[in-house]
Each structure stands twice: as structure tokens, then as C-alpha cells.
Copies of this chain bind each other. A is one copy, B any other.
Amino acid sequence: MAGIQHQLQVELGDRSYPIFIGQGLLGQQDLGQWVAGEQVLIVTNETVAPLYLEKARASFSGKQVDVVILPDGEFYKTWEVLNRIFDQLLEKRHTRKTTLVALGGGVVGDMTGFAAACYQRGVDFIQIPTTLLAQVDSSVGGKTGINHPRGKNMIGAFLQPRCVLIDTSTLETLPNRELSSGLAEVIKYGLIQDNQFLSWLEEHMDGLMALQSDTLAEAIFRSCQCKAAIVAADEREAGVRALLNLGHTFGHAIETYTGYAEWLHGEAVAAGMVMAADMSKRMGWLTYNDIDRITQLLVRARLPIRPPETMSPDDFYALMAVDKKNIDGALRLVLLHSLGDATVTAEFDPELLHLVLSAHQEAQE
């Protein structure tokens, strides 16, 4: 297909699918070949619809194309809002052969994927992620779901898309904070398994922040490659896939604490990665210099490096206790043996964790 700069295949047997990356792909590409039947439902949100809905609609010419426009934000990743998708599918009489299309960020992707997983016990879906975060993270790997008042992403399913179309030009309309939020996950890939990519990011962070198209496409491609390799090895998160949660145990606690409203996902993950790095240093695995490299890269990406100052260790303990990585009640953390080498462990001194969870409050005093 024309305009494609990078292409990769996520290898998952009969659930394998391609990711296409390029500038201006949306509207140029006819996506009809990825649709099994004659019906398409595009799910998007109030922010993205005015910008890209017509281009997306044009990608499915000749099909019955219906649309659902959701409110924008993690706050709306609820059952009530999900139900608007089911209402529309049933009202427009979509059958099992329908294809759902997620046009938007991670929230739209998660909800559309979960709706596809549940509607008539499972229909196809396609991802057109329009935020950096969704392009490098939530569009790869098939995790879908909604939030529960007691915990993020607690209700969901695994469902792989038929294909993913990443148009880097959608990032030109992305708010700066959202770009930074996506960069948190990009940096994460370097930290957990690719020291060379980490150095590349240190070299190209200014270009990424300036939205240089080729640099963005390269960063997205390398991030997707990294995630695709991990997902291919462990689709159901029985082992190595948990490494993708670096910073997320702390980060999810921050998001739940702040009601999914104040902090963007990547911002919470950034602060969480600093906490995971701090823990790793206290365990003797990382050096002061390593911590400096991490915090400097995050700061250059305009990301926070501390949790909310009002958030106490007890707040963290209560919210981390429901983390999906935990097994039979034991808290498990993703930590760094070194830069580019992560591990999941439940074996750590609780005293050290307490120091990590209280460090930001001491710093305020």
C-alpha cells in the first residue's frame, strides 16, 4: 500500500495481524479488504470525530458504515458508556459479521475492542490509533477492557485486531501533554529490554518533541516491534508480558487515587517508572547515574517524576493490593536489574518499598 513507511506483523498464529505505519495513511488506504462482512461501526470520541471521522469513513466505501461518538477521557471508560456501542450495534442490526473500528486513543481502543469481544460473543475489529500512547501501546497486544470504580481495566478481554493503521500525521493535532504521555511508554520499551533504543531516544528526544515525522515513525515502529515480540512470546500475560507493566503498578494506583481525571496514563506511568527505578536502586541493581538518565529523559519529554504529594504510602498499599499481577495476595513489582533488563519479582524487603512510597512526601517537608 502507498505511503507505508514501516510495516510489521504481530505473530500470534491464526490471530496474527499487520501494523502499517506512515504519514498521511488515513484516507489514502482502502481498508475494505480487512472487513469480513458488509457492516462497519466506527467508534470514536468528540475530540477526534471532527478531525478524522470523514477520512476514516472514506476508508470503507461501499459498506454500511455506522458511527458512535463517545465522550473523551479515561473517566468515561465505564460500562454505561460502553453500552452506547451495544445500543448502536443493535439499533442498526449489526450481525456477527460486523467489524468495529476504533478511531481514537487508548480509551476508544480499549472500549471498542471490549465491545467487539462481547458483542454476540465476539466480532472483528480494526484499530486506527490517533494518539502516540495508543499507537505504541494499546493498539498492540489485544488487551481490551473498561474500568471498575475499584480498579483500572479490571473488566476486559483479550481480542486481537484484524489490522492496525498508524497515521503519524494524526499526532500533529495531539495536545502536548498527550504526546508526552505517549513518550512515557516509548521510553519504557528502552528501559525494559532495549538499551540501544534508550540511547537512540536520548539522541532523538528533541526531534520527537518537535514532531519530526520520520523520527516519530521510527520510534513508533521500534516500540511496536518491542511490544509485538513480547506479546508473541506471552499473549496471555503468564510470564514475560508482565514486564510491559514497568511503572504501571505505581502508576495505576496514582490513576485510581486521582479518579482517572487529573493524570494522563503516561504521566502516571512516568512517575511510576521513577518509583520502580528508585526501588531498583535501593535493591542495589541500578546506580545513581542510571536514575539520572531515566529522570532526565522523562523531564525532556515533559513528564512528571513524582506521584501526587498528598498520596501516602497507605494510599499506595490499598490501591496496589488489587493489581492483576499479584498472585495469592503477594504484591509483585516490575523492577530493573539494569537499564534494558527488567524482571518481575515478589521478593523484596517491604522496608525498601515503604521508603520508595514515602520519598516524595519527605521531599516536600
Contact = CB atoms under 8 A, between A and B. Distances in A.
Given A79-B83, A324-B96, A328-B97, A156 B118 contact: yes
Nearest to A158: B121
A180 to B, nearest CB: 28
Contacts of A95: 324, 326-329
Interface stretch (A147-155, A189-197, A306-314): A147-155
Interface stretch (A2-10, A85-93, A226-234): A85-93
A173 B169 CA distance: 65
B155 A93 contact: no
Interface in A266-323: 321-322
Contacts of A118: 118, 145, 155-157
A119 B155 contact: yes
A143 interface: yes
Interface centre among A93, A121, A155, A156 (most CB of B within 10 A): A121
A332 to B, nearest CB: 10
A72 interface: no
A144 B121 CA distance: 8
Contacts of A90: 148, 150-151, 154, 322
Given A37-B328, A79-B79, A95-B326, A86 B321 contact: no
A120 interface: yes
> Could you tell me the dominant secondary structure of chain A's interface residues?
mixed
Contacts of A157: 117-118, 121-122, 157
B322 A86 contact: no
Nearest to A87: B150
A68 to B, nearest CB: 15
A156 B329 contact: no
Contacts of A39: 328
A357 to B, nearest CB: 19
A81 to B, nearest CB: 12
A38 interface: yes
A38 B328 contact: yes
Contact of A86 (B93, B148, B158, B327): B148
29 contacts: A37-B328, A38-B328, A79-B83, A86-B148, A86-B155, A87-B150, A90-B150, A93-B321, A93-B329, A95-B324, A95-B327, A95-B328, A96-B324, A96-B326, A96-B327, A97-B327, A117-B157, A118-B145, A118-B155, A119-B155, A120-B154, A120-B324, A121-B144, A121-B145, A121-B153, A121-B156, A121-B157, A122-B236, A157-B157
Interface of A: 37-39, 79, 83, 86-87, 90-91, 93, 95-97, 117-122, 143-145, 148, 150-151, 153-158, 236, 321-322, 324, 326-329
